Amino acid sequence: MYRIYSTGPVENAAGNASTNVWVKVLNVSSKTKVEVEIKAYKLNGTKTEIDKASFTVRPNSSDFAIFDITNITEYELQIQVKNSKSALVSVWGKDSNADLVASQRFTQKELNIIFEGPKLKSLSPTAQNSRKINSAVRRNR
């Protein structure tokens, strides 16, 4: 089962703006791996993809990706999850002091489901070319 979550448009122009946004995925299955692809979009005017990442979360573990949104006044994240019944997803904005920005915290229930089905119709060329998260940014927990 595939599911694509969206944060929807997120305002980031307040006094305590986020400089990074973290996407965390917990795999609660003891047998099935979870595959994740994430796209970050800038919404300042025209919607423009600014970054993407992909990773696999082993059974009974978690992983995350970090996106730089410095000077992005409005953004959206889309998180595609394969084997979504095994995954818990959250999104966390952090400011320049690495403090959490409460208004940019999304639990799984607060994320919008924009696609759900047994199979994706097709992956876009940008999704097929997703960068792998490097070890400095991604750590297994």
Q: Is residue 122 part of a domain?
A: no
Q: Is residue 141 part of a domain?
A: no
In the prediction, which pLDDT does 139 show? 40
Which band of pLDDT confidence, cut at 50, 70 and 90, is reported for residue 32?
A: very high
Q: Is residue 89 part of a domain?
A: yes
Q: Is residue 17 part of a domain?
A: yes
Cα 116 from Cα 134, distance rounded (Å)? 28
Chain position carrying tokens 């095994």: 86
Domain tally, the chain: 1
In terms of phi and psi (left: phi > 0; alpha: psi -120 to 50; beta: otherwise), the region of 103 is: alpha
Contact predicate 6/89, CB 8 Å: no
Query: For residue range 50-89, what is the model confidence (pLDDT) as tens digits?
Result: 999 999 999 999 999 999 999 999 999 999 999 999 999 9
Cα 141 from Cα 139, distance rounded (Å)? 6
Q: Is residue 54 part of a domain?
A: yes
Say which CATH number the domain at 15 has. 2.60.290
Q: What range defines the domain where residue 108 resides?
A: 2-116
In the prediction, which pLDDT does 61 show? 98
Q: Is residue 123 part of a domain?
A: no
Q: Is residue 73 part of a domain?
A: yes
In the prediction, which pLDDT does 14 show? 79
Q: Is residue 22 part of a domain?
A: yes
